[in-house]
């Protein structure tokens, strides 16, 4: 009985330690997601490209929500999406992003949702200058839909999150549709591309007097954008676990869509084994991530790798959970300032 009680208490203690470490990582991810939008805003992203800036903000909101639902990988994926959109906004990229429209009956059956109407609405908005006439609403609708697709594809669906993303996508797309139809009916500039002002309404001074030249405004200082991601490894291994593939795929997508973004990969180990052996193992872990990125089309010149081995621990090595936490590869995704 005493032995059983001891094992039980150890399990509780381990769970508490794990929860504390997990909560710390989640809070760190939340702060990072919020910081991305703040830096982008201060650097003038909203003025350069409202559509992508609003996507950056909406992706950040999704990242924070998933963190609150204890979905660490999903939270980090959407933080990376936020950085990607912020980078596009700062570059004044313009134009629509690709959107993964779901038309899978089996997936709809599993989720219990009928997506036909929302699919048709998004098609209509994207094909009729919705990004010009309702950039903020369309951006939020697309991000909610992206989050909905992510949740639908999970092995274990969070029904509360699923319905939240679905409702957000429906509501934002309906508002965007209403704005677009109003723009079409009233022949607004965002839809026609023309400014129609009757000459009779022009004040006389504008017809005879040269317009005063406005003083040139200084462009806001642009700060670098940065987001970190992390994957963990089994003991004495450097192969990438299947759970982290979606996260790495998001990094690949971000690097392909943002040529001014680089990545630095840092490999680490726990405290078991010699320093020389762990230094080599840490570098192998970093290179395993690099090899995955290169295999999927990223230039080697955009990737830096380093192995730190038995140093820079982020958890105690006294427990299996702590050692697993330390066996990691951190990758820092950085958009260099164009200033």
Q: What is the pLDDT of residue 75?
A: 92
The residues spanned by each domain of the chain are 17-192, 225-335
pLDDT at 194: 72
User: Angle, to 10 degrees, between the axis of helix 159-185 and the axis of helix 116-127?
Assistant: 40
Tens-digit pLDDT profile for residues 199-234: 455 555 555 555 555 556 555 566 788 899 899 999
Neighbour-count burial for 289-324, b at 16+ CB within 10 Å, e otherwise: bbebbeeeebeeeebbbebbbbeebebeeebebbbb
How many residues comprise the chain? 339
* 310 neighbors 327 (Cβ within 8 angstroms): no
Structure tokens at 19: 């929860």
How would you write the pLDDT of the chain (339 residues) with one tens digit per residue? 444 434 333 333 333 334 434 444 566 667 877 888 998 989 899 999 999 999 999 999 999 999 988 898 999 999 999 999 999 999 877 789 988 888 777 777 777 788 888 999 999 999 999 999 999 999 999 999 999 999 988 888 899 999 999 999 999 999 999 999 999 999 999 988 875 555 455 555 555 555 555 556 555 566 788 899 899 999 999 999 999 999 999 999 999 999 989 999 999 999 999 999 999 999 999 999 999 999 999 999 999 999 998 889 989 999 999 999 999 999 999 987 655
- pLDDT at 4 (0 to 100): 40
Which pLDDT does position 2 carry in this prediction? 44
Phi, psi of 329 (to 5 degrees): -130, 120
Q: So what's the pLDDT on residue 213?
A: 59
CB 112 within 8 A of CB 118: no
Could you say which DSSP state residue 301 is in? G
pLDDT digits (tens, 9 = 90+) for 140-166: 999 999 999 999 888 888 999 999 999
Helical H segments across the chain, by residue range: 2-42, 45-48, 50-68, 72-90, 105-111, 116-127, 130-133, 135-152, 159-185, 189-192, 204-208, 245-257, 275-295, 320-326
Residue 105 tokens read as 């009956």
What was the pLDDT predicted at 214?
57
**Annotation: CATH topology of 225-335:** 60s Ribosomal Protein L30; Chain: A; (3.30.1330)
């Amino acid at each position: 009985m005493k032995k059983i009680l001891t094992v039980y208490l150890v399990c509780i203690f381990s769970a508490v330690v794990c929860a504390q470490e997990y909560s710390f990582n989640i809070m760190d991810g939340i702060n990072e997601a919020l910081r991305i939008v703040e830096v982008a805003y201060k650097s003038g992203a909203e003025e350069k490209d409202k559509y992508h800036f609003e996507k950056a903000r909406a992706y950040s909101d999704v990242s924070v929500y998933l963190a609150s639902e204890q979905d660490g990988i999903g939270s980090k994926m959407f933080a990376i999406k936020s950085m990607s959109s912020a980078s596009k906004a700062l570059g004044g990229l313009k134009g629509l992003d690709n959107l993964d429209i779901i038309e899978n009956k089996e997936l709809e059956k599993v989720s219990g949702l009928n997506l036909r109407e929302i699919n048709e609405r998004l098609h209509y908005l994207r094909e009729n200058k919705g990004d010009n006439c309702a950039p903020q609403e369309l951006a939020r609708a697309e991000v909610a839909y992206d989050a909905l697709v992510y949740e639908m594809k999970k092995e274990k669906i969070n029904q509360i999150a699923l319905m939240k993303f679905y409702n957000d996508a429906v509501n934002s797309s309906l508002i965007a549709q209403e704005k677009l139809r109003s723009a079409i009916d009233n022949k607004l500039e965002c839809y026609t591309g023309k400014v129609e002002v009757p000459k009779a309404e022009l004040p006389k001074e504008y017809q005879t007097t040269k317009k005063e030249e406005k003083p040139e405004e200084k462009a806001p200082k642009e700060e670098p954008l940065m987001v970190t991601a992390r994957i963990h490894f089994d003991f004495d291994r450097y192969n990438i676990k299947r759970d982290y593939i979606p996260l790495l795929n998001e990094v690949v997508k971000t690097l392909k869509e943002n040529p001014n973004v680089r990545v630095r990969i840092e490999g680490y180990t726990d405290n078991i084994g010699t320093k020389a052996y762990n230094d080599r193992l840490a570098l192998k872990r970093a290179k395993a991530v690099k090899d995955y990125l290169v295999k999927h089309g990223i230039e080697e010149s955009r990737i830096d790798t380093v192995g730190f081995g038995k140093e820079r621990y982020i958890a105690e090595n006294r427990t299996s959970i702590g050692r697993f936490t330390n066996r990691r590869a951190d990758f820092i995704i950085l958009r260099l300032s164009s200033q």
